[in-house]
Structure 1
Amino acid sequence: MLQTSCFILGFGKASSGRLHPSKWWLTFLLWLMLVAPAKAMELRVAIQEGVSKITVGSSTKAVIRDSAGRVVGQMAAMDGMEARPTGGGVALGGEQSTQLIVEPTAGGYVWIGDRWYRGRTRLVRTGKGLTAVNQVDLEQYLYSVLGSEMSANWPLEALKAQAVAARSYALYKRQTAGNSVFDVGDTQTWQVYKGLETEAESTQMAVNATAGQVLTYNGQIILAVFHSASGGHTENVENVWSEPLAYLRGVPDYDQGTPGYQWQKSFSRNELSRLLGVSNVKSLIPERTTPSGRIMTMKVVGSGSTRRMTGSQLRQALKLRSTLFTVSSTGTGFQLNGRGFGHGLGLSQWGAYQRTAIASMKVQ
């Protein structure tokens, strides 16, 4: 059963010109959908992909099921076992199947590689290797994501904003996954997930307080991306990735003075030549920038060649915090003065922190 209600979610002004301290969360005017599912929703998270072997275990006694769901073996508590790919699928503790599932009893946890997780473990042969998938309740998955993506010591309202964004992102990926084995990964490419080690009472409180809440646009769950700091202004999605999305628009942010707001990095000419593949770099000329100042295209001029690079390519090559920067010559090289940390799309985490801090001071 679904219930919907409308909230103003934005770092910009609401239609009334004011923001209630507890209703400011994201950068868009959207529908907030309150989902009350009849049963828990399971998410498939790839923990290790394409490996030659992996150690799995359980904190309690566990059963081992085959691809048809039949119990084919047992696993003792706290007894790690090595799984390997075979010609016909997966081998674990003498059992073989196209895939195997380790299912703890009595509310136990699973061990995958080097961490403890909630839920259960599915082992699947993929290509020439083995992929370990943590199948976990969505809300419990978020307990860890919040502590992995944001400090558990941050204000509860900031954590709640992150919970809504992370839940929306996970469900969007679950609905659009082109992969039959998993919905999301556990790295920064998706959203970081480290299992039990990053859970905290505060992250559980934030997830529970927003249980089932997701962001939608025209009735569809959105791609609710987020980043560390915007440098004062978030970005339109088409200026960073490809197609425009009506709900991912740039707005003023409030991350000034935070650790992610400003940065500086210097390079010698030799360093730039090596990193950018242009001999004897003479100048860096921004050719296209976004309205907020992010680099879209940079011309790298050398003594014998010129190379044009996108902002994303330049950021990756030089390991920059963002594409929002200016360039100045130092004589022997170049200095980059930048702002923000991340792609600048969607929720600004440090902006969320600042807004909750400001709201808290006003309430007091």
Structure 2
Amino acid sequence: MTPPLPTDAELSDVAEVTSRIRASISTVLSGLDQAISATLATALAQGHLLMEDVPGVGKTTLARAFAASVDCTVGRIQFTPDLLPSDVTGVSIYRSDEHRFEFRPGPIFANVVIADEINRASPKTQSALLESMQEGSVTVDGATRQLPAPFLVVATQNPVEMEGTYPLPEAQRDRFMAQVSVGYPEARAEMAMLDSHDGHDPLKDVRPVADAETLLAAINVARRIYAAPAIKQYIVDLVSATRDESGLRLGASPRASLQLLAAAKARAAMAARNHVLPDDVKALAVPVLAHRLIVSTEARLAGRTAQQITREIVSATAVPSAARDAAAPREAAVVRAP
């Protein structure tokens, strides 16, 4: 059964909530509109976010500001070379006085998990996140435990060329819905940062502007956004093009198609629209697809990056005419909410 389209009131609520969270984060970091938008879209799409950039540009601060803006449980994991999988998922401890094992949950049991410098831990420890990010559960000592909802991992990492880093396994990267680069701020934004941080930490002033229940309601609205068949075909065309691109050794997976559609729906919901437009897909194609791709040796030596190749694919892929004219669905088969 086709789910009912969200009402105008529901869409208005989503736009208002995301606007409040955006404004809250902007009190701490200015000039990062693209990164903040990607964070919000990923949260509404029930995905996970990977932020990669050089040290000191605000990756962890952005993750902490988002977590502080939503009244929910927060787990913080500082990834280091000696971190063990049990430090992430939790461990069973034997209680000799009661002659039984007691499970002590790790920091992964939270609504928002900040995985700081994730690529400084070994691949063995990084893999401890695979089940939780895909299935929303953790299996320890043969027992599977569900994680709280909503569940969002916001991971930061330094470029792999930097000292003391391990490249993320392909399976791990594929589980992140989007990857964004914070980048250096513009001069005006950096000047504003100097003023706001001068002798004061603005993170201490951040107060929650939403809660877990509100976020779950927004997620439910985003899930019910309408995507026309032509929009879905456009997504399939983009993802298929990455598999045929000569400059890529590995193209995007079917999971990428699903997550690009979910992210596009979330972007439409943030704009208070009940349908996806081609512009939603275009705006998120690079953040959602590029980090999953493996560039061939020849293309890498020629100076081409996964982001550049993805942009070329987006430019070369024709938008279906039906998708170009996409509007609110009129089909009688679509059930509208009362």
TM-score, normalised with respect to structure 1? 0.22
Q: Flag the structure with larger Rg.
A: 1
Considering Cα pairs closer than 8 Å and 6+ residues apart, tell me whether 1 or 2 has the greater RCO: 2
TM-score, normalised with respect to structure 2? 0.24
Bigger share in strand: 1
